[in-house]
Amino acid sequence: MVSLCLVFFTFYLLILSTEPEAPQNFTCSAKNATEGKCTWTPPQSYFDRISLCYWISPDGPNCTPQDKTQDGIDLHNLRPFTNYTVVLQARVTGKVTRSRNATYTFRTDLAKPSKVNGLSASRKTENTIAVSCKRPNQLNGPEGKYYLEVRTGNTLVKTESRPDCRFLVADLQYLTEYNFLVSYNNTKFAGPQESVTASTSYNAKALIIFLVFLIIVTSIALLIVLYKIYDLHKKRSSNLDEQQELVERDDEKQLMNVEPIHADVLLETYKRKMADEGRLFLAEFQSIPRVFSKFSIKDARKSFNQNKNRYVDILPVSYDYNRVELSDINGDAGSNYINASYIDGFKEPRKYIAAQGPRDETVDDFWRMIWEQKATVIVMVTRCEEGNKNKCAEYWPSMDEGSRVYGDVIVEINEHKRCPDYIIQKLTVGNRKEKASGRAVTHIQFTSWPDHGVPEDPHLLLKLRRRVNAFSNFFSGPIVVHCRCVKTAPGSTRAFTPAPMRLSGPPSPSAPVASRKSVRRKLQCFPCLTLLGFAQYILIHQALVEYNQFGETEVSLSELHPYLSNMKKRDPPSEPSPLEAEFQRLPSYRSWRTQHIGNQEENKSKNRNSKIIPYDFNRVALKHELETSKESEQDSDESSDDDSDLEEISRYINASFVMSYWKPEVMIAAQGPLKETIGDFWQMVFQRKVRVIVMLTELKSGDKEACAQYWEEGKQAYGDVEVHMKDTNKSSAYTVRAFELRHSKRKDPRTVYQYQFNNWNGEELPAEPKELVLMIQNLKQKLPKKNSAEGNKYHRNVPLLIHCRDGSQQTGIFCALFNLLESADTEEVIDVFQAVKSLRRARPGMVPTFEQYQFLYDVIASTYPAQNGQVKKSKHPEDKVEIDNEVDKAKPDANCTSPPEALEKTSEGDKEAGGAKPTEGAEGPEHAANGPASPVLTQSA
Please list the active-site residues.
483, 804
- Burial class of residue 387, CB neighbours in 10 A (0-12, 13-18, 19+): exposed
Residues 6+ apart with CB under 8 A from 147: 159, 160, 161, 182, 183, 184, 185, 190
H or E stretch covering 815: helix 809-827
* Secondary structure E strands in 407-552: 409-418, 422-431, 439-446, 479-482, 512-514
The three-class DSSP label of residue 796 is coil
Give how far the C-alpha of residue 376 lies from the chain's centroid of Cα atoms, to the nearest Å: 33
Distance CA 774, CA 133 (A): 71
- Quote the CA–CA distance of 89 and 111 in Å, as a whole number: 31
User: CA-to-CA distance for 83 and 93, rounded, in angstroms?
Assistant: 31
Distance, CA of 602 to chain centre: 33
Report the 10 Å Cβ neighbour count for 643: 17
The one-letter amino acid at 35: E
Q: Point out which residues pair with 931 in neighbouring strands.
A: none
Strands 479-482 and 377-380: parallel
- Cα angle: 532, vertex 536, 541; to 5 degrees: 130
HSE-CB at 289 with a 13 A cutoff on CA atoms is 20
Cα–Cα distance, 707 to 377 (Å, whole number): 52
Helix (H, G, I), strand (E, B) or coil at 844: coil
Q: How many CB atoms lie within 10 A of CB 369?
A: 24
Q: What is the DSSP letter of 596?
A: T
Provide the 8-state DSSP code for 651.
Answer: B
Please tell me the distance from the alpha carbon of residue 170 to that of residue 191, in angstroms, as a whole number.
25
User: Can you state the angle between helices 557-567 and 850-863, rounded to 10 degrees?
Assistant: 140
884: how many CB neighbours lie within 10 A of its CB?
14
- What are residue 874's DSSP bridge partners? none
Prior bond to 192 cis, omega within 30? no
